[in-house]
Structure 1
Amino acid sequence: MKGLWTKDIKLISSQQKSLLAIWLIAAGILITTDQISFAISYTSIITSMIGVSTITYDAFDNGNVFLFTLPFTRKEYAMEKYLFTFFLGAVATIGGILLVIVVMMAKGAFSVNAEEILITVLINIPSLLIFQAIFLPVQLKYEGEKGRIVVIGAVIVIVVFLFRMLEMAGIDLLDIILNHMYLKDTTLWVSTYIISIVVWLLSFIISERIVLKKEF
């Protein structure tokens, strides 16, 4: 698996312009709006998307035909994609926090809202897991532009479904967020993490089967 990590790191390092653009946009958001939460989440999720794009690079010009002759299993390949994209998201989260501190200090705000940063990080972890759970199986199955179109459609359906279920259960999500009711709700936090981890594990099982059945 070390070889796969080396390969993907080199692929990511070749996209320096895209990575620079992500951080410049995040910095611009902070300078103009002070949106700390959005800047951190944005850098994390978008950087993870670049990690997912390594699947497309692997398949480019029948590259998988050669790649899967190397000494690693298909299960290891699937697992590496999950670990690598989460690693990128985690590193980008830390980088986003540092960016927030630097930009806010440059603007003259010598104190940063630590509570907002903490809440953002706590929310960002399950968000990354759910992001992987949705994107990776579809990208492994369809690859390229078709995969992205399917993912966008799936995300829309899932979001609409979740909001519909919350509405039927009489839960006002907007009210919970605006009134910070989630801050003291330990059950909500624990449930969120358990659900996201379970979904992540189920997604990995699906991805593993997709890779095992693929023909190159």
Structure 2
Amino acid sequence: MKGLILKDFINLGRSFKSVGVALVALAIIFIPMGNESFISGMIVLMFAMMVITTMSYDDTAKWDTYALTMPITRKEVVRSKYLLLLMLDLTGVVLALALAFVGSFLKGTGITVETLLGILIILMIAVIFGSALIPLIYKFGPEKARLMIVLCAAIPTAVLLIVAKLNVPFPAIGNEETVFGIIMIAMALISLVIFFASYFISVKIYQKKEF
């Protein structure tokens, strides 16, 4: 299991460099504009996309055919992708929080509840996004699922752009701590349900798949 995940991280080496350059450029553009929430959301989504990149690499290299000759089960192969998805999403969240803190520091203000809520909402979207795409790729392959990937990436990106452009505020919150806690729990439950449902669907698809 560890070897499968390590293999994916090694394959993502170049992608990490490209994403790093893109993030620096986006930070230079959006932080002075005060759009930390937008750039933070983009960071999480960009990292969520990377699990799809690893599956494309695997398909091109015919990795699954080779992997199944080793003493690992099909469930372990699928499980490694979902663990990778969580690791990448959490990495994106950590970087997003770091960027939000930097932006608030440069502006001389503290990080707001709205920014934290925004990052958590994007995390939920990223988990749902990845959970929806993984079984599609297992079912149809990276090439056939390409249009689905583009659409799934374009929709949340368009929403983020519209929200950032219109500067839509969050609704007024009375007891912020209570509401924040409720939202965190609700988002965690929704994400977990979709995540595990997607995992079991992917396992069924992968077990029937021939290589």
- With the length of structure 2 as denominator, give the TM-score of the two structures: 0.79
Query: Distance between the aligned counterparts of 2:86 and 2:133, measured in 1?
Result: 12
Distance 1:154 1:44, change over 3 A: closer
Counterpart for residue 147 of structure 2: 149
Query: Distance between the aligned counterparts of 1:33 and 1:70, measured in 2?
Result: 52
Counterpart for residue 15 of structure 1: 15
Query: Distance between the aligned counterparts of 1:210 and 1:146, measured in 2?
Result: 16
Counterpart for residue 112 of structure 1: 110
Counterpart for residue 97 of structure 2: 97
Residues 135 and 201 in structure 2, CA contact (< 8 A), matched pair in contact too: yes
- Paired residues in the alignment total 196
For residue 33 of structure 1, give the secondary structure of its aligned residue in structure 2.
coil
Query: Distance between the aligned counterparts of 1:2 and 1:185, measured in 2?
Result: 35
Map 1:70-81 onto structure 2 (within 5 A).
70-81=70-81
Query: Distance between the aligned counterparts of 1:29 and 1:116, measured in 2?
Result: 21
Shift in Å at residue 115 of structure 1? 1.8
Residues 93 and 119 in structure 2, CA contact (< 8 A), matched pair in contact too: yes
Query: Distance between the aligned counterparts of 1:18 and 1:156, measured in 2?
Result: 19
Report % sequence identity.
Answer: 26
- With the length of structure 1 as denominator, give the TM-score of the two structures: 0.77
Residues 30 and 100 in structure 1, CA contact (< 8 A), matched pair in contact too: no
Query: Distance between the aligned counterparts of 1:70 and 1:203, measured in 2?
Result: 25
Query: Distance between the aligned counterparts of 1:156 and 1:31, measured in 2?
Result: 22
Counterpart for residue 214 of structure 1: 209
Distance 1:68 1:117, change over 3 A: same
Which runs of at least 4 in structure 1 moved beyond 6 Å after TM superposition? 154-157
Aligned Cα root-mean-square deviation (Å) = 2.8
Shift in Å at residue 60 of structure 1? 0.9
Q: Structure 2 counterpart of 1:206, which letter? A: I
Determine which of 104, 114, 123 is the counterpart of 2:121: 123
The 10-residue stretch of structure 1 (11-20 or 71-80) with the greater mean CA deviation from structure 2: 11-20
Distance 1:152 1:142, change over 3 A: same
Residues 124 and 191 in structure 2, CA contact (< 8 A), matched pair in contact too: yes
Query: Distance between the aligned counterparts of 2:39 and 2:135, measured in 1?
Result: 27
Distance 1:91 1:78, change over 3 A: same
